[in-house]
Amino acid sequence: KAGVTQTPRYLIKTRGQQVTLSCSPISGHRSVSWYQQTPGQGLQFLFEYFSETQRNKGNFPGRFSGRQFSNSRSEMNVSTLELGDSALYLCASSLGWTEVTYEQYFGPGTRLTVT
Amino acid sequence: DAKTTQPNSMESNEEEPVHLPCNHSTISGTDYIHWYRQLPSQGPEYVIHGLTSNVNNRMASLAIAEDRKSSTLILHRATLRDAAVYYCILQLYNFNKFYFGSGTKLNVKP
């Protein structure tokens, strides 16, 4: 079974631009979560989607948004990029909503650098 | 937000047991305790999880204190491949939302 894939793996953008990151979950997984990882703040939860609906949201500004498609693939968008948005963005997929203790499978991440 | 506290780093000798502690004094009765680890240049990977009872799997054991305010991840025989950052995470029941701590960087010496 193929793992979680994220594209692109590396990205360089300029302040003020916007960016879209993509995540393809493991086949059969309906939940996709996004995390931001930085040296200073560690791993922080951005949001989670299940069946095309945002179920949970972290404490990030509205510049960070996401969506999920009917095939469970997900995208996250960051508008008006700031230098502080430079980070590794991780996507994780899991089976679904009804099983609370399911494990999350993480992708390799997208390394975003904002200059 | 639920919080966990872990030592920044620990060191172990290869083939010896390792006990990685985690404090979560603000845990609520329905929070699950998860452990994930992150190897260099990879996303985190699942290690083990539990609610109240101690848990064992092929990778590790999880010992949960009776009051649930702390837990310990036990690697029975550390190998060089176990060198990673280990995260202790709380998950609120029925919410797929993980609160990662700062993690413990485990160094395994040959």
Structure confidence by residue, pLDDT tens digits, B45-100: 999 999 898 999 988 999 999 999 999 999 999 999 999 999 999 887 667 678 88
Q: How is residue A38 annotated by DSSP?
A: E
pLDDT per position as a tens digit, A54-111:
988 889 999 999 999 999 999 999 999 999 999 999 999 988 665 555 688 999 999 9
Q: What is residue B20's predicted lDDT score, i.e. its pLDDT?
A: 98
B41 C-beta neighbours (distance < 10 Å), count: 9
Can you tell me the distance from the alpha carbon of B78 to that of B86, in angstroms, rounded to the nearest whole number?
A: 13
Residue B87 touches partner A, C-beta closer than 8 Å = yes
Retrieve residue A70's tokens.
């009917």
The predicted structure's pLDDT at residue B1: 57
Q: Quick one: chain B helix, strand, coil %, rounded to 5?
A: 5, 50, 45
Using a CB-CB cut-off of 8 Å, the residues of chain B touching A90 are 43-44
Q: How confident is the model at residue B43 (pLDDT cuts 50, 70, 90)?
A: very high
Task: Write the CB contacts of B81 (distance below 8 Å, at least 6 apart in sequence).
Answer: none
Provide the shortest C-alpha distance from residue B37 to chain A (in Å): 11
Q: Which of B78, B43, B44, B48 is nearest to B60 (CA)?
A: B48
Chain B residues lying within 8 Å of A33, measured CB to CB: 96-98
Q: Is the dihedral of CA B92, B98, B101, B107 positive or negative?
A: positive
Of the residues A23, A33, A38, A43, the best mutation for testing chain B's interface (the one with the most B CB atoms within 10 Å of its CB) is: A43
The reply to whether B63 touches chain A by the CB within 8 Å rule is no
Rg of chain B (C-alpha set): 13
Q: What is the longest distance spanned by two Cα atoms in chain B?
A: 42
Find residue B34's DSSP bridge partners. Answer: B49, B89
Q: How far is A34 from chain B (nearest CA, A)?
A: 10
Q: Pairing state of beta strands B9-13 and B104-109?
A: parallel
Give, in order, the Cα–Cα distances in Å from B51 to each of A20, A62, A101, B31, B65: 37, 34, 9, 7, 11
Say which DSSP state B3 is in.
-
Q: Which residue of B has its CA nearest to A47?
A: B97
- Quick check: B61 and B74 in contact, CB under 8 A? yes
pLDDT tens string A26-40: 998 989 999 999 998
- How far is Cα B75 from Cα B81, in angstroms, rounded to an integer? 12
Nearest to A13 by CA among A96, A66, A78, A95: A78
